Amino acid sequence: MSAPAPGVGGMWRIERYESLPSTSDLCIARARAGEAAGLVVIAGRQSGGRGRAGRVWLSPPGNLALSLLLRPETPLAEAGQWALVAGVTLIEALLAVLPRAARRLALKWPNDVMLGEDKLAGILIDSAASAAGRMAWLVLGFGANLATAPELAERPTAALAGLAPPPSPEALAAALLERLDAWQAVWRERGFDPVREAWLRHAHPLGTALSLIQGARPVTGRFAGLSPTGALLLDTGDGIESFSTGDVMLGAAS
CATH number of residue 224's parent domain: 2.30.30.100
Q: Are residues 123 and 215 in the same domain?
A: no
Closest CA to 50 of 73, 33, 27: 27
Q: What is the C-alpha to C-alpha distance for residues 116 and 103, in angstroms, rounded to an integer?
A: 9
pLDDT at 56: 62
CATH number for the domain harbouring residue 78: 3.30.930.10
Q: Are residues 190 and 227 in the same domain?
A: no
The size of the chain, in residues, is: 254
Closest CA to 155 of 199, 122, 203, 124: 122
Q: Are residues 213 and 169 in the same domain?
A: no
Q: How many domains does the chain have?
A: 2
Q: Are residues 102 and 176 in the same domain?
A: yes
pLDDT bucket at 5, cuts 50 / 70 / 90: very low
pLDDT at 87: 97
Q: Are residues 196 and 224 in the same domain?
A: no
Q: Are residues 231 and 123 in the same domain?
A: no
Q: Are residues 75 and 180 in the same domain?
A: yes
Q: Which residues constitute the domain of residue 178?
A: 2-202
Q: Are residues 192 and 227 in the same domain?
A: no
pLDDT at 52: 62
Q: Are residues 168 and 230 in the same domain?
A: no
Which carries the bigger pLDDT value, residue 77 or residue 225?
225
Q: Are residues 246 and 137 in the same domain?
A: no
pLDDT bucket at 74, cuts 50 / 70 / 90: confident
pLDDT bucket at 213, cuts 50 / 70 / 90: confident
Confidence (pTM): 0.91
- Residue 73 CA to chain centroid, in angstroms? 20
Q: Are residues 195 and 214 in the same domain?
A: no
pLDDT over 90 (residue 53): no
Q: Are residues 195 and 216 in the same domain?
A: no
pLDDT over 50 (residue 1): no
Report the half-sphere exposure of 20 (CA within 13 A, side-chain side).
20
Mean pLDDT score of the chain, rounded to an integer? 89
pLDDT over 80 (residue 184): yes
| Residue 37: φ, ψ to 5° | -60, 150
pLDDT over 70 (residue 10): no
